[in-house]
Amino acid sequence: MDPGFSVDDIAPIAILMDELRSEDVQLRLNAIHRISTIALALGPDRARNELIPFLQDSVDDEDEVLLALAEELGRNFEEYIGGSEYAHLLLGPLENLSAVEETLVRDKATESITKVSAVLSQAQIEQFYIPLVHRLSRGEWFTSRTSSCALYAPVYDKVAPPLQDELRRSFATLGSDDTPMVRRAAAKWLGPLVKKYSKQHVLTDGLVIYRRLQSDDQDSVRLLTVEDLIAIAQQLTPAEVKDQLLKQIKQTVSDKSWRVRYMAATHFNELADTVGQELVREELIAHYVQLLKDNEAEVRTAAAGQIPGFAKLLEKEVILARIVPCVRDLCQDTSQHVRAALANQISGLAPLLEKDATIEHLLPLFLHLLKDEFPEVRLNIISKLEQVNSVIGIELLSESLLPAIVELAEDKSWRVRQAIIEYIPLLANQLGKPFFDEQLGNLCMSWLGDTVFSIREAATLNLKKLTEVFGVEWAKVQIVPRVVGMGQHPNYLYRMTTVQAISTIASSLTLDIVRGEILDTLLQLSADPIPNIRFNVAKALEVLATTFGDTAEGRQLVLQKIVPVLEQQKNDQDADVRFFAVRALQKAHEVAA
């Protein structure tokens, strides 16, 4: 284990303690971050006998320092104190940190205790870890009881049955604690613990705790029980779920708090996957429709995000009868966020409904969403068109697709314009060369002259991707002449874009195209009156040299055409041009050597 510097450089424990007692928080923080290195220098015996007791008494400090200490003790710190047989000694300082007021410190301390538990033997767990859990669980302050909830699941299956009985009883007490924060923690950690229970104990203990928490008067507790519901359902058969949990499922989906219903909608597919198809058809579909029609937009948004995943569990006829009418309503939803979520997922229904039903029922909805006034809705539809295309073909969509793309391409928000550029290669692949050349070719070139640099940069990268989609010969005809033509433009931004586009797409082209169509324009721009263009030419020439200089023909081009221009540029009156020319010249000589 390399501490990063020699042991001789380590400050003795006395100096460390002085640093930890310093009034300077940063000094104390630095000392904490050096603890593992210092423990290594002290050796295992002194680390156990001096350092650990000192740390156990050092909990009266700034939260930032305590957080660092909790984190350091969880980083395999047992290796510095003699190995896993002494790992239980770390539980002392971590127990103290688990009871402090600051939540971040407590969470990090319990996380580190969990890491330590992984290296403890069963004897150590029963002798040291379980008593720690009981002390925290019965602590006077809610902070320690809250922390204790996270510590049951990691060791439950590592202890003897009598201790498991104790742990279940103790956790049940936490689930009915007077303090909402403790019950909230119990709800959060019940799921991981129930997964360790036997079927019998899920039914006799887990369900009791869950039902109590699921009917809690605090919605912040109830919303955390949604994941507990799934964890318990995973342990039961579909018949047992129907018998034991159906009431709770109904209560959760109909909860008076939208936050609870939102959690139910967010995790609905996980629940549906767990309970079995029969229960989905008989019960869950009605609950899901209820969530899709919820009066809160946040709930409808979450439910819309589950549409294709849930629909996979249903027959085609059921999707058409129950889900598609809801989808049709959501297309007209007053909330743009609901429509955006729907647009992101609706295409997933196409493979399930197949061609005829997709054309009849979904195509009108796609076209409607493509005309939505909210850009994100249109973008989401366009980004997922591949699924629809694979089912019905792009022809039926292209009529409405093109106006939507053009409108997005001219959106006043540059971020929207940038987003549609990123989807162009995907669309190009679907549309094919003829349609693309006729309808979108000019649009792609127009982005090169955008007033926003990020758009021009994205547009050049777009050309490179299009070259990879349609091939070099297509690029030679459709892209290269237009890029080169911009090099003669009176506006320097267009000339700059030519240089940057050449740098970007060069690696996707052939040496013949570069030599015959591109290089002369680039060399002419090396004498441009604008220094920014001249030094970008130097950078572009460096790209060409490194890209094509690995062949005899390429090396000849570098020596005959590129090097002479760079030799001139290295004497340029502008310092930046000279810098990049010298750098490019060095690279050119390296590849041509």
In a domain, 570, yes or no: yes
- Mean pLDDT, residues 6-28: 60
Which range, 202-216, 410-424, 428-442, is most confident?
A: 202-216
Write the CA distances from 178 to 145, 216, 217, 218, 252, integer angstroms. 11, 11, 12, 12, 22
DSSP 452: S
Q: Confidence band (pLDDT; 50, 70, 90) for 18? A: low
Question: Structural domain tally of the chain?
Answer: 2
Tell me the residue range of the domain where 485 lies.
471-592
Write the CA distances from 400 to 72, 141, 372, integer angstroms. 58, 63, 12
Q: What pLDDT score was predicted for residue 13?
A: 56
Tokens found for residue 204: 């006799």
Q: Confidence band (pLDDT; 50, 70, 90) for 133? A: very high
Residue 29 pLDDT > 70: yes
C-beta separation of 569 from 540 below 8 A: no
Q: What pLDDT score was predicted for residue 233?
A: 93
Q: Confidence band (pLDDT; 50, 70, 90) for 7? A: very low
Q: Confidence band (pLDDT; 50, 70, 90) for 423? A: confident
Of 345, 351, 302, nearest to 327 (Cα)? 345
The string of DSSP letters for 180-213 reads HHHHHHHHHHHHHHHTTS-HHHIIIIIHHHHHHH
Which range, 4-13, 110-119, 430-439, 451-460, is most confident?
A: 110-119
Domain boundary among 97, 120, 143: 120
Tokens found for residue 70: 């909790």
pLDDT tens, 227-266? 999 999 999 998 899 889 999 999 999 999 999 999 999 9
> How does the average pLDDT of the chain come out, rounded?
87
Q: What pLDDT score was predicted for residue 592?
A: 72
From 190-204, 326-340, 500-514, the region with the lowest mean pLDDT: 500-514
Tokens found for residue 401: 């697709």
Q: What pLDDT score was predicted for residue 413?
A: 79
In a domain, 585, yes or no: yes
Of 417, 329, 341, 436, nearest to 381 (Cα)? 341
Q: Confidence band (pLDDT; 50, 70, 90) for 448? A: confident
Residue 244 CB coordination number (10 Å): 18
Q: What pLDDT score was predicted for residue 12?
A: 53
**Which letter, b or e, does each residue of 251-282 get, where b requires 16 or more Cβ atoms within 10 Å of its Cβ?**
bbbebeebebbbbbbbbbbbbbbbbbeebbee
Q: Dihedral (C-alpha) 511, 512, 518, 521: value to the nearest 10 degrees?
A: 110
Amino acid, single-letter form, for residue 228: D
- How far is CA 79 from its chain centroid? 33
Q: What pLDDT score was predicted for residue 534?
A: 92
Q: What pLDDT score was predicted for residue 14?
A: 62
Tokens found for residue 13: 């424990």
In a domain, 319, yes or no: no
Distance CA 160, CA 188 (A): 25
Q: What are phi and psi of 282, to 5 degrees?
A: -75, -40
Q: What pLDDT score was predicted for residue 517?
A: 81
Higher-confidence position of 416 and 167? 167
Residue 291 pLDDT > 70: yes
In a domain, 33, yes or no: yes
Cβ neighbours of residue 243 under 8 Å, at least 6 residues apart? none
pLDDT tens, 47-96? 888 888 888 877 666 888 889 889 988 888 888 888 889 999 999 899 99
Domain boundary among 60, 89, 120: 120
> What's 536's domain CATH number?
1.25.10.10
pLDDT tens, 348-359? 998 998 888 988
Residue 106 pLDDT > 60: yes
Distance CA 415, CA 274 (A): 40
Domain boundary among 59, 88, 120: 120
In a domain, 563, yes or no: yes
C-beta separation of 333 from 370 below 8 A: no
Q: What pLDDT score was predicted for residue 6?
A: 42
Cα angle: 387, vertex 388, 392; to 5 degrees:
130
C-beta separation of 129 from 117 below 8 A: yes
Distance CA 299, CA 552 (A): 64
Residue 568 pLDDT > 70: yes
Residue 471 pLDDT > 80: yes
In a domain, 524, yes or no: yes
Q: What pLDDT score was predicted for residue 22?
A: 65
Cβ neighbours of residue 126 under 8 Å, at least 6 residues apart? 159, 160, 163
In a domain, 412, yes or no: no
Distance CA 454, CA 417 (A): 10
Cα angle: 70, vertex 73, 74; to 5 degrees:
90
Residue 9 pLDDT > 60: no
Residue ranges in 258-305 assigned as alpha helix (H):
258-266, 268-275, 277-279, 285-292, 297-304
Q: Confidence band (pLDDT; 50, 70, 90) for 170? A: very high
Q: Which residue carries 């301390």 as its tokens?
A: 109
Q: Confidence band (pLDDT; 50, 70, 90) for 39? A: confident
Q: What pLDDT score was predicted for residue 436?
A: 80
Distance CA 499, CA 34 (A): 50
Q: Confidence band (pLDDT; 50, 70, 90) for 578? A: very high
Q: How far apart are the first and last CA of the chain?
A: 44
pLDDT tens, 317-365? 999 999 999 999 999 999 999 999 999 999 899 899 888 898 889 888 9
What percent of the chain has a predicted confidence (pLDDT) above 70?
A: 94
Q: Confidence band (pLDDT; 50, 70, 90) for 405? A: confident
Tokens found for residue 355: 């061609």
In a domain, 164, yes or no: no
Residue 394 pLDDT > 80: no
Cβ neighbours of residue 458 under 8 Å, at least 6 residues apart? 418, 421, 422, 447
Q: What pLDDT score was predicted for residue 60?
A: 66
